[in-house]
Structure 1
Amino acid sequence: MKITKAILLTLLVTVIYYIPQGILVLLVKYTNWDINLFNPMFDIVWSLSTVMAYLLVFYLFWKPKPHYSNILDTNGLNYNLIPFLILSAIGLGFVGQPFWDYNRLIEYFQNASFEPITRNYGELNFEYGYTMLSTLIIAPIFEELFYRKFLFSKLQEKYQLYLAIIISSVCFSAIHFETLSNLIPSFLFGIVSCLIYFKTKKISYSILLHFINNLFVTLINTRYGEPFFNWLDSLKYDVLYWALFTFGILITILGVKKITTANTT
């Protein structure tokens, strides 16, 4: 697979993903349909459009067709590696935090002042359940199958390993353009996930890492994360804040090394 095709397929997935959502938004805007953007119907459409986008691209462009009965390749998983997957996810969280805080970092160092911000934490309600389904089940499975098992593997056939990893990770990062501060954390996650898949030859490890990562992000963005963010704000980007960043790099490397050197067959 050429780089241009990988980029175009990523764009195609994005376009197909947004078509049903765009239609629904237009119906709400130009009709008398009394529904708001936070209605559960939108969450259902978001989830279904994600599945539809990936399945359609798989059907049209994944050749030869994979054996769907064992596409997730869960046989013979080494469950002793789960603690290291958790360690890697925690490390990626610490590494990504300064990128999430980018705007505040610039503002703080320019003005030498710090004003705590108020965060709106998600609540455990009906809509939250659909978000959990999409974030914890649909995204890990379909995104890992597409960006790692499909794109990354096909890119490897034509390019050197490092370039295949970079292009796959760039494409993966690009689909998170709605949250610009997540572009670099997503890119770093893509690199780690590619390395794990390349070394283990099992996409299920990448899916598990994705699930664990999204679970942590989801929980910390609900009220469970309030004490953590309050404590993080209190650091005011001091030495301890950057020590956590360095600690994140180290434990991510440790986790990935343990996973990629273990006997996973």
Structure 2
Amino acid sequence: MENIFPNKIYQAILLIIVPLIISSPVFFILTKYDLDIDYFVNIFFTTYCLCLILIHFLISILFNYQISFSINIPKNSNVLLLSLFIISFQIGIHFPLIEFTQDISTNYEFSPLHLIGALILAPIFEEYIFRGIILNGLLSKFSNFWAIVITNVIFCIIHLSVNQFFGALFLGIFISLVFIKNKSLGTCIYLHFLSNTIAFLHYYLNINYSISILINGLFAIIFFTIIAMNIKSLFTNDETTC
């Protein structure tokens, strides 16, 4: 069995908390400046993630822990089917549910900094941390089920928004299953990027629910059809590609 850090629950929790404490001075320094909220969040989020990754790297080196995952996207990883699954979930299931928890007329102002955070920083850092580090470590000591549960409880806690919680839970579980099958962090980053891109476009295009209800329904049908007909091939590495 591989010796990977963190392989215990308390190690995973400490790995999340300690970098937060270490990077907290940056937070207080930033509060002294009148910064745009997206700029503020991006700087602190990047600082925190880099601190966590550095701590994990140093512990792995000092105590001879292994780092075992691939950045490449395998040719036989069913990327097209996985992509369709993400798209159909977001448009057919997730967006309609969100419409019942917020004002559908809410306008979101476009921000390049928000785009950078949502489409670049979040997919790379969150997948590296939650799939590449935490899930990967827990899999060395826990069953797939419990490793996924523990990882995604932590993943959902950092997405405290009601509107983000359901999407984060589904996305976290789905991408965790994909990671377990192919150990490809590149695939996880791509799927996270795709999911955030769809959400970003949805909010900033301000699509009215009453106009898009037929589109939502169509993608909901696609979503459940994929589950019914291709659930096994979604997560298997075989010689065929979609």
TM-score bracket, normalised by the shorter chain, equals 0.7 to 0.9
Residue 65 of structure 2 corresponds to residue 64 of structure 1: yes
- In 1: Cα distance, 2:42 partner to 2:112 partner: 10
Match of 1:113 in 2: none
Contact 1:87 1:255 in 2 (8 A): no
Match of 1:97 in 2: 95
Counterpart AA for 1:220: H
Superposition CA RMSD, Å: 3.4
Residue 8 of structure 2 corresponds to residue 2 of structure 1: yes
Deviations along 1:8-67, one digit per CA (max 9) or x if unpaired, are: 322335555665234311x14xxxxxx3534x7536524532443333332344452638
Give aligned-pair identity as a percent.
Answer: 23
- In 2: Cα distance, 1:172 partner to 1:117 partner: 26
Structure ID, larger Rg: 1
Match of 2:157 in 1: 174
Contact 1:44 1:130 in 2 (8 A): yes
Structure 1 pair 185–80 and aligned structure 2 pair: CA distance change class (3 A): closer
List aligned pairs for 1:95-134, cutoff 5 A: 95-97=93-95, 99-101=97-99, 103=101, 117-123=104-110, 128-134=111-117
Q: Which has the higher contact order (CA 8 A, sep 6+)?
A: 2
Counterpart AA for 2:235: T
Long gaps (5+) in structure 1: 29-34, 105-115
List aligned pairs for 1:196-211, cutoff 5 A: 196-211=178-193
- In 1: Cα distance, 2:221 partner to 2:173 partner: 18
Match of 2:237 in 1: 262
Match of 1:49 in 2: 47
Structure 1 pair 156–216 and aligned structure 2 pair: CA distance change class (3 A): same
- In 2: Cα distance, 1:5 partner to 1:201 partner: 21
Counterpart AA for 1:11: I
- In 2: Cα distance, 1:102 partner to 1:11 partner: 33
Counterpart AA for 1:168: T
- In 2: Cα distance, 1:12 partner to 1:102 partner: 37
TM-score norm. by structure 1 comes to 0.71
Structure 1 pair 65–137 and aligned structure 2 pair: CA distance change class (3 A): farther
Deviations along 1:193-224, one digit per CA (max 9) or x if unpaired, are: 111011112121111101111111111121x2
Counterpart AA for 1:81: N
Q: 2:209 aligns with which of 226, 229, 239?
A: 229
- In 1: Cα distance, 2:237 partner to 2:179 partner: 13
Contact 1:17 1:50 in 2 (8 A): yes
TM-score norm. by structure 2 comes to 0.76
